Amino acid sequence: MVEALLFASRDLLSAEELAIRLPGGADIPALVAELRRIYATRGVNVVEIGGKYGFRTAEDLSYLLAREQVEERKLSRAALETLAIIAYHQPVTRAEIEEIRGVSTSKGTVDVLLETGWIRMRGRRRTPGRPVTYGTTDAFLEHFMLASVGDLPGLEELKGTGLLDSAVPAGFTVPVPNDSAELGAEEDPIEDDELFDLDDTSGEAEHDDHG
């Protein structure tokens, strides 16, 4: 039954959504674990992304579908840096992103990431100007095949892959990512009608990236 539900669903399903359709008392984690074991060596695998489950093509066979994929526009370096900062530092405002990057961040860069569906506006910071805070989405986790943001590489992993200089400054740390849907103590919710009126999604002055 779990296999049929996951196969037929276009979207990933949570344990709660599966439980609604299964007999009472069904051990969802055990059932999913068994299904993952069965499909571990198949052409499709059962994956967990953002606490939800679904079928995805096995990673070692993804090349077979390469010709069927739509070529996507590559993100700029500024967009990739901004996405990484949001992923690790969320909830974060545009001013905070700029402080970390050391350069200004244009509204267009943030807009591109919003259009991809990889980031979202979480709330408003309880500071002057009430700037918007940003965080990642389930679409971000799905695209990068992460079960949670906690699976993002830490300091040693980043150094091991060459993404960070092995001789990093003393005291340098990589924050532990947290994409909890609950607003923090310094965040206020964004009202639904505000989402249609946010010409400047950060609540701050617009300016361009430069380096």
Q: What is the pLDDT of residues 108-135, one digit of tens each?
A: 899 999 999 999 999 999 899 899 999 9
Specify the pLDDT at position 2.
Answer: 94
- 199 band by pLDDT with thresholds 50, 70 and 90: very low
In the chain, which ranges are continuous DSSP H helix?
Answer: 2-8, 15-21, 28-39, 77-89, 94-101, 107-116, 138-143, 155-160
Average pLDDT over residues 160-181: 66
Specify the pLDDT at position 121.
Answer: 93
Domains of the chain: 2-58 (1.10.10.10), 77-196 (1.10.10.10)
Residue with tokens 């779990």: 2
Specify the pLDDT at position 167.
Answer: 58
pTM to 2 decimal places:
0.61
- 56, 45 contact by CB (below 8 A): yes
Q: What is the pLDDT of residues 71-80, one digit of tens each?
A: 556 788 889 8
Q: What is the pLDDT of residues 45-72, one digit of tens each?
A: 999 988 899 999 888 887 776 655 455 5
Average pLDDT over residues 90-96: 92
Position 209 pLDDT exceeds 60: no
Q: Map residue 149 onto helix, strand or coil.
A: helix
- 145 band by pLDDT with thresholds 50, 70 and 90: confident
- 114, 142 contact by CB (below 8 A): no
With 0-12 / 13-18 / 19 or more C-beta atoms within 10 angstroms meaning exposed / middle / buried, residue 3 is: middle
Q: DSSP string of 54-68?
A: EEEE-GGGGGGGGGG
The listed range with the strongest mean pLDDT (69-78, 100-109, 188-197) is 100-109
